[in-house]
Amino acid sequence: MANSIWTIEEFTCASCGTNYTATKEEHSEAHSGSFKCGICNGVVHAWSGKHHFFGWQAVKTKPPVFGRRWAGIEW
Ligand SMILES: [Zn+2]
Q: How far apart are CA 14 and CA 36, in angstroms?
A: 11
Q: What is the pLDDT of residue 43?
A: 97
* Residue 16 covered by a domain: yes
Could you tell me the distance, in angstroms and rounded to a whole number, from the CA of residue 51 to the centre of ligand 1? 23
The pLDDT tens digits for 56-74 are: 999 986 655 555 555 555 5
More confident residue, 68 or 5: 5
In total, how many domains does the chain have? 1
Could you tell me the distance, in angstroms and rounded to a whole number, from the CA of residue 48 to the centre of ligand 1? 21
Question: Is 21 a residue whose pLDDT tops 50?
Answer: yes
* Residue 75 covered by a domain: no
| Listed residues: CB within 5 A of ion ligand 1 | 13, 15-16, 18, 37, 39-40, 42
CB 36 within 8 A of CB 15: no
Domain residues for the domain of 50 are: 6-58
